[in-house]
Chain A
């Protein structure tokens, strides 16, 4: 059981430590020396990559490293719009069914062979192959037809317009055909010794110790300034923090305590730069909408009024997060700031409950209706301290309006298999990691309520169904924005979830690294532009 608990902890920590990808600045000593080549960046990670071919990887450590070795046809810009990466440009047919990519010319794999449309085709065929064990197949099964028009043109045709489609042509489907054709990809040498065309290339991978990458001097977007990138595996977060102080690690993700307290010393202020930006995820309290009590919108709204989100952010996250108002991250294009907000207001809560028929008739301090006391349980998973703490705060707050809450903390698999899948819950506290694309069809559409599907609260609203459909069937950003903004209004009004908070990622980087420009998508997107002025360089690379 202990190991199980550790498992959950580890997964969560991976999520925390590896959440280095989105955001806003906080305390960065901005001083730019002249960019110079050289030096090495050592990143600490508690998890080790398992495979360096993106489509086979399921863990964030693998994606972190493989992301530096492989590029996609498209990528997200700092403002979350999609821009070309290996694709110079693309055309979308007016009906949204056909996407034609025009690839950049003269890009070479690091073994010298030219990258062409055949490589994309090969990647696409591999990912949809029955025999390829990949969790990312579904998006590509939507493709009706894929064709190589010439060396630099690749075209896909969809059955229905699919807005997230463009973003799926990232680095999952670009593979070196000349090295992999006719081979079993899972047994290929390339899983541990990949050949890509990204900003870095693999130098050496020592199991359990580190993965060393060298800069790709012929990178098509310019040679990276930092010559070496070391992904150092330190399974224990406390040890990693000590390594940071000793200079063994240059960059890592901090916990809230480390961010607010332990790094608030002169030593850290002089030697490090901290960053802070929202992670693409949120934590929520979800109601089982099949439960007779929670069918009533007023009850859900009353509970929303009785919970102080600001308090949860302050206590649980040490202020390193923001209260959530809907299923999107603030400051992204899909986010609608003007939705109904539920201020902490006990009187309003009590009044709404009274309207719904809940009153304390026997004077024991707990509301009742038809002889039943208002008592329910909140389920959450073991090992996630912030969720447990959130549950405790909610329990305390709801007691004030006469609702008794019992907290049950369950081991992850039991929680999912026995309670979520079988709908044996009243409320849950959970979180979603959300993609950058705002399509949340799987979470809110009324057709997604089968076992193992994600609308487990059984939310159903024809207008939302319709808007979700609209949002994913058009490429017009304005139309999509309208649809998703409206969905947030409805969700705020109906409160199937109480959206609690969006946590912040809090990475720290050694101060000698310059050129870091925090954005909504994080700090590492422009890694190849980071540099260390010559006089500050620490590691000398033997060439």
Chain B
């Protein structure tokens, strides 16, 4: 009996060191991401002061210089990066360059607002829901089209999936808004709460938010759904061809057990990694659909920040996005480790 414990302890130890190593590796990666982002941001033509000053006959060159000095834009780029980095280490993303001069962190995570109205939370919530939707929908679609390979069903889903891939999301979103918002009048078109939200009861509020979430979550999971279901299909096909599946079938197990118990577990392995890797895609997608649906999340804030060259805000969001992506990768690693003993042993 002591045997499993003996093998578990070094395994557990292995895991910890592996994770620690991974965590440690993330630091230079994050550092590199911020440096590259900062430089690219500076390379892009235009300055934060342009919005206020370009082609405004009331601005004298002196006034422009005053504004640039106020923002610290007169210093060399590397000095600016140094100043920025020094603050970020203390988790202070600085003040936004936009005329409201609010701290970046407050814009992203406003502690004065209820949780549901904080930008990072909104984006996180929608992405999480999309991931769940993708998982719930893509896996069965993938499995069934793998088990029914070359059938009519498989062909239909293939076509459907490619349409999903090719469809521009913003266009599809507008079509759905027209259908559900105007013709059927079932769902709100944009925003994240109704005009009379404050007057609603708690359940009314939850229902209101849910209604506002349906289209955005559907749209943001749609593209991912197409991709993940394809991966699921091919991964499943690969597993089904393995010898042990043939063995399982040969020993007379029902097909259901073979597929869902033996094949599925192995087929899921690669999907775990993919979900981890899809985090940056989802965050990037947030920028687009949050703007279409007028959802006050982090993506919308990012878009506005880029438009006005609000360097501290853009850098803040990029850094948080990078952290989330790295965290996603780490979670994928952990998931992989839990699912696959071969990796644990390494």
Interface residues of A (CB under 8 A from B): 3-4, 6-7, 10-11, 40, 42, 47-48, 50-51, 56-59, 62, 130, 133, 135-139, 186-187, 191-192, 206-210, 230, 232-236, 238-240, 242-243, 245-246, 248, 411-414, 416-417, 432, 440, 442-443, 450-454, 539, 542
Contact = CB atoms under 8 A, between A and B. Distances in A.
Interface of B: 44-47, 50-61, 63-64, 66-67, 70, 98-102, 107, 110, 113, 117, 119, 170, 174, 177-178, 181-182, 185, 188-193, 195, 199, 291-297, 300-301, 303-304, 306-309
Contacts of A239: 174, 177, 189-190, 292-294
Contacts of A240: 190
A239 B191 CA distance: 10
Contact of B107 (A51, A207, A235, A242): A207
A6 B304 CA distance: 10
Contact of B294 (A42, A58, A59, A236): A236
A239 B98 CA distance: 25
Given A58-B99, A133-B70, A539-B195, A207 B110 contact: yes
A458 B329 CA distance: 58
Contact of B59 (A138, A238, A416): A138
Q: Which 8 pairs of residues, A with B, have the shortest CB-CB distance?
A: A208-B296, A413-B45, A413-B46, A58-B52, A442-B57, A234-B294, A235-B291, A51-B100
A150 B77 CA distance: 51
Contact of A413 (B50, B60, B301): B50
A242 B307 contact: no
B307 A6 contact: yes
B52 A135 contact: yes
Contacts of A246: 181-182, 185, 189
Nearest to B297: A208
Contacts of A233: 294, 296
B51 A59 contact: yes
Given A187-B101, A242-B177, A206 B117 contact: yes
18 contacts: A7-B306, A11-B51, A51-B101, A57-B99, A62-B99, A135-B53, A135-B63, A137-B63, A138-B60, A191-B101, A207-B113, A208-B119, A235-B303, A238-B292, A239-B174, A239-B294, A246-B182, A246-B189
Nearest to A1: B44
A50 B99 contact: yes
A418 to B, nearest CB: 9
B111 to A, nearest CB: 13
Contact of B54 (A56, A411, A412): A412
Nearest to B173: A239
A414 B63 CA distance: 21
Nearest to A542: B199
Contacts of B100: 50-51, 191-192
Contacts of A230: 195
A4 B308 CA distance: 10
Given A413-B47, A416-B55, A417-B45, A451 B189 contact: no
Nearest to A10: B307
Given A136-B58, A138-B63, 12 more contacts: A4-B46, A48-B304, A133-B99, A191-B100, A208-B119, A209-B191, A209-B294, A234-B191, A235-B294, A246-B185, A450-B61, A454-B57
Nearest to B177: A242
Contacts of B70: 133
B181 A242 contact: yes
Nearest to A245: B182
B64 A207 contact: no
A209 B195 contact: no
Contacts of A453: 61
A70 to B, nearest CB: 15
Question: Max chain B CB contacts within 10 Å: which of A47, A235, A238?
Answer: A235
Nearest to A14: B307
B168 to A, nearest CB: 12
A242 B110 CA distance: 30
Contacts of A242: 174, 177-178, 181-182, 189-190
Contact of A207 (B119, B294, B303): B119
